[in-house]
Structure 1
């Protein structure tokens, strides 16, 4: 059996944020959410191609995505749990940490669990 060299090559970084204790009103406000995610993308020096956000009726939350030239930023909110799931995936040499810092600064009362993943491929051997 041939041995595979573990020479992974990074194509980007994926940040997964679990955000707790957020104000219910913000979690239902697609306009405010989109604006904050746009600011996060700008902080990372990303190029926004388009966006789409959907508000669920009643006391429902918001789901949305910013499509970036460098990948995406997405969110899904659960106001009833004071919770949002945010993904930031950016390729290349963008300032992903700056996007996360913008979210932390703009949601100062929120608690965040932040996980980082390297997105890599194995080259053909």
Structure 2
């Protein structure tokens, strides 16, 4: 079946990356517009299709929470500039490549360390 076919069967499977990025310069973690552009670029690098995004800043010197909704699932970020920390959540299914998205984010934020947990998500066979 073609991708545009509404009757096409899509497998409920994907990769979910949970990344704790530490040692980031505070100035990289507080601007909603910059972080939104970064996550949208990360989605494009991964071959994902952006549907919508929403970002919220908590005030001067404070962090940001944001999500980019994808046809393939989502990318989200929560930042704590005062701690030089960002929690990044990337879940993608289909042919998208979540690791490429994380590579773009890491290159831009330049963390000193990244603790990564990868979870394979899939529906149990019926």
Map 1:3-42; keep pairs closer than 5 Å: 11-42=13-44
- TM-score by length of structure 1 reads 0.86
Provide the alpha-carbon RMSD of the alignment: 1.5
Query: Unaligned regions of 5+ residues in structure 1, if any?
Result: 1-8
Q: Which runs of 4+ in 1 moved over 3 A?
A: none
Query: Unaligned regions of 5+ residues in structure 2, if any?
Result: 1-10
In structure 1, what is the Cα distance between the partners aligned to 2:68 and 2:111? 24
Larger Rg: 1
1:97 aligns with 2:73: no
In structure 2, what is the Cα distance between the partners aligned to 1:73 and 1:24? 21
Q: Which residue of 2 aligns with 1:55?
A: 57
Q: Which residue of 1 aligns with 2:89?
A: 87
Query: How many residues get paired?
Result: 116
Candidates 63, 67, 85, aligned match of 1:65: 67
In structure 1, what is the Cα distance between the partners aligned to 2:109 and 2:95? 25
